């Protein structure tokens, strides 16, 4: 096993190309740890597994660069997420900021030592100063736009926070309050330990080691109960929110609404009338630091090769923006009309492969979306993936298209787990409406409990899939319903 120590960057002194190199190094290293590598590479890896902590850390230099690392690393997220080969990420100061972000992104526990909580504020004191770049040894002047490009540190996650009260640079009380469970939406996903005295360099590592060992052991509460990380707001994807919004929000209004509700991820569900605004949607999401987690592709019998004209428009926009995302592929039943079972598998696998081939140009991936019918059956989805030329096809499971699987949900999870990247939640009744709020059905509580116990560590979707309503109200009801269920399950 390997420990990644201190993803610690100081963005105010780092060139863009160096930032990209370090971020790519982390993603590549995590992927190698997960998959293994040739014996001749192992010695090299073992001597370079540690990205050493440096005082203050290094980070992004611009809004554009932040989005580039997020887009690139998201391509590896499903493969690396939840890997227990990587024990933890450890960061100090601004490095703790990045350890928190990478930890949540890859589903890895993070130890945060004297973390910077509001870097967009704390870095302002250095604007105009010429500062040392620890990688290139050159000195660069911190520009105004660098502090402004930061958001706040992640609030919820699988974190151990270690604080010296004697920190002369950062007020430990800010971190103590920020990670308080009542402040952080009452999600007890992290433990905060404070030490008397000390300094910003942290003077209590020996005393902290027992806490770190406990944090990384199976006995630590957040390791026993992964619901904090799984259902943290940062891991929730807003889904089915564009066509169903009676407010017909613009991309700017939609991004503002999502940020207000605490969402940092969105799936793009669209109709033809929305596509002229897709480029604007991408740019607005980037501005608001909202990840475009997925884009919906609906395939019917009009598509001879799997792609329709609107799909090409979407791919062109994604490629022009330098984005990578997940293409969620749903299929109409008429795609397989009149075919025998084996023919269906062959045809759909071919369609998926062609979509995948185009998606690869932007570094995007493909996931099968259960939308009912033959192609939405769990066993059939696995057969399609096994018939594909590619081994990185994922699966999205929708509660609202899975009413036939309510009684065997645990079995379905076991079947899908090797490929499962996202689960979209919904209230579940066998004989009622298919779209109801989370918490209003008879079965979603047990299904969510099963999901928590399964070890799933991918994304969770919150849908706004109702007709004639303000989608903000629908999302808020579902968020509240989910929180109520989680509270009941944790009693």
pLDDT of 32-49, one tens digit each? 444 444 434 433 333 333
Mean pLDDT of 322-330: 93
What confidence score (pLDDT) does residue 392 get?
87
Mean pLDDT of 245-260: 95
As given in the structure block, the two tokens for residue 249 are 């929000």
Q: Which of 88-102, 133-147, 218-232, 331-345 has the lowest mean pLDDT?
A: 218-232
Q: For the whole model, what pTM was predicted? A: 0.60
What confidence score (pLDDT) does residue 52 get?
32
Q: What percent of the chain has pLDDT over 70?
A: 77
- Over 80: is that where the pLDDT of 238 sits? yes
pLDDT band at 305 (very low <50, low <70, confident <90, very high): confident
- Over 80: is that where the pLDDT of 313 sits? yes
The pLDDT tens digits of the residues spanning 115-138 come to 998 888 888 888 888 887 776 778
Q: Which of 29-33, 271-275, 421-425, 463-467 has the lowest mean pLDDT?
A: 29-33
- Over 70: is that where the pLDDT of 378 sits? yes
Mean pLDDT of 384-388: 95
pLDDT band at 78 (very low <50, low <70, confident <90, very high): very low
What confidence score (pLDDT) does residue 18 get?
38
Which CA distances in Å does 436 have to 236, 409, 426, 476, 484? 18, 18, 6, 13, 15
E-strand ranges in 234-373 read 236-239, 265-268, 291-299, 326-331, 365-369
pLDDT band at 16 (very low <50, low <70, confident <90, very high): very low
- Over 80: is that where the pLDDT of 293 sits? yes
Mean pLDDT of 13-18: 38
- Over 70: is that where the pLDDT of 335 sits? yes
pLDDT band at 433 (very low <50, low <70, confident <90, very high): confident
- Over 70: is that where the pLDDT of 13 sits? no
What is the separation of C-alpha 133 from the centre of its chain, rounded to a whole number of angstroms? 29
What confidence score (pLDDT) does residue 396 get?
97
What confidence score (pLDDT) does residue 189 get?
56
pLDDT band at 221 (very low <50, low <70, confident <90, very high): very low
Q: Hunting for tokens 């203050």 — which residue is that?
A: 56
The pLDDT tens digits of the residues spanning 438-469 come to 999 999 999 999 999 888 888 999 999 998 99
As given in the structure block, the two tokens for residue 250 are 């613009």
**Residues 370, 383: Cα–Cα separation, whole Å:** 14
What confidence score (pLDDT) does residue 329 get?
96
The 3 state secondary structure assigned to 299-316 is ECCCCCCCCCHHHHHHHH
The pLDDT tens digits of the residues spanning 136-161 come to 778 888 888 888 777 788 776 788 99
| Most confident option among 3-7, 27-31, 275-279, 486-490 | 275-279
Which CA distances in Å does 87 have to 61, 96, 157, 213, 441? 28, 16, 15, 11, 38
Q: Which CATH architecture has domain 230-489?
A: Alpha-Beta Barrel (3.20)
What confidence score (pLDDT) does residue 444 get?
96
Q: What percent of the chain has pLDDT over 90?
A: 51
What confidence score (pLDDT) does residue 139 get?
85
Mean pLDDT of 471-486: 95
Longest Cα pair distance anywhere in the chain, in angstroms?
Answer: 75
Mean residue pLDDT across the chain:
80
Of 199 and 68, the structure prediction assigns the larger pLDDT to 199
Domain 2-224 has CATH 1.10.3210.10: no
Element (H, E) at 32: helix 16-35
- Over 90: is that where the pLDDT of 188 sits? no
**Residues 130, 12: Cα–Cα separation, whole Å:** 9
- Over 90: is that where the pLDDT of 253 sits? yes
Residues in the chain: 491
Give the list of residues 6+ apart from residue 162 with CB closer than 8 angstroms, or none: 111, 112, 113, 114, 193, 195, 202, 204, 208, 211
Q: Which of 173-182, 225-234, 244-253 has the lowest mean pLDDT?
A: 225-234
Give domain limits for the chain: 2-224, 230-489
Of 198 and 69, the structure prediction assigns the larger pLDDT to 198
Of 78 and 247, the structure prediction assigns the larger pLDDT to 247
How deeply is 368 buried, as exposed, middle or buried, from its count of CB atoms within 10 A (0-12, 13-18, 19+)? Answer: buried
Of 391 and 162, the structure prediction assigns the larger pLDDT to 162
What confidence score (pLDDT) does residue 6 get?
37
């Amino acid at each position: 096993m390997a420990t990644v120590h201190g993803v610690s960057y100081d963005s105010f002194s780092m060139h863009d190309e160096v930032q990209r190199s370090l971020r790519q190094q982390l993603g590549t290293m995590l992927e190698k740890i997960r998959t293994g590598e040739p014996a001749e590479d192992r010695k090299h890896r073992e001597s370079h597994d540690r990205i050493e902590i440096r005082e203050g850390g290094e980070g992004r230099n611009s809004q554009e660069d932040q989005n580039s690392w997020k887009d690139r690393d998201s391509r590896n997220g499903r493969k690396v997420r939840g890997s227990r080969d990587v024990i933890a990420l450890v960061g100090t100061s601004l490095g703790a900021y990045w350890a928190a972000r990478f930890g949540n992104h890859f589903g890895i526990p993070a130890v945060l030592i004297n973390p910077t909580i509001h870097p967009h504020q704390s870095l302002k004191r250095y604007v105009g100063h010429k500062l040392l770049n620890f990688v290139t040894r050159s000195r660069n002047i911190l520009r105004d736009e660098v502090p402004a490009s930061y958001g706040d540190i992640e609030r919820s996650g699988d974190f151990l926070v270690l604080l010296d009260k004697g920190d002369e640079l950062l007020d430990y009380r800010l971190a103590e309050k920020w990670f308080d469970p009542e402040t952080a939406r009452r999600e007890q996903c992290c433990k905060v330990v404070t030490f008397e005295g000390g300094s910003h360099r942290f003077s209590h590592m020996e005393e902290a080691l027992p806490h770190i060992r406990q944090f990384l052991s199976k006995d630590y509460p957040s390791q026993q109960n992964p619901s904090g990380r799984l259902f943290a707001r940062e891991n929730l994807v807003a889904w089915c929110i564009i066509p169903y919004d009676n407010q017909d929000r613009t991309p700017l209004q939609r991004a503002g609404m999502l940020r207000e509700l605490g969402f940092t991820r969105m799936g793009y569900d669209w109709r033809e009338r929305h596509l002229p605004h897709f480029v604007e949607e991408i740019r607005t999401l980037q501005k608001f630091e909202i990840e475009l987690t997925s884009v919906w592709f609906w395939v019917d019998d009009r598509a001879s090769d799997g792609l329709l004209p609107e799909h090409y428009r979407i791919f062109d926009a994604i490629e022009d923006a330098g984005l990578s995302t997940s293409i969620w592929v749903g299929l109409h039943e008429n795609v397989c009309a009149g075919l025998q079972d084996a023919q269906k598998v062959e045809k759909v696998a071919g369609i998926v492969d062609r979509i995948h081939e185009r998606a690869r140009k932007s570094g995007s991936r493909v996931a099968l979306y259960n939308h009912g019918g033959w192609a939405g059956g769990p066993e059939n989805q696995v057969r399609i993936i096994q018939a594909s030329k590619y081994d990185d096809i994922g699966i999205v499971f929708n509660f609202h298209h899975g009413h036939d699987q309510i009684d065997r949900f645990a079995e379905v999870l076991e079947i899908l787990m090797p490929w499962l990247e996202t689960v979209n939640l919904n209230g579940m009744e066998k004989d009622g409406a298919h779209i109801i709020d989370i918490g209003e059905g008879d079965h979603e509580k047990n299904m969510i409990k099963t999901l928590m116990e399964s070890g799933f560590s991918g994304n969770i979707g919150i849908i706004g899939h109702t007709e004639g309503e303000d989608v903000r109200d629908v999302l808020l009801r579902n968020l509240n319903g989910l929180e109520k269920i989680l509270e009941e399950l944790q009693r």
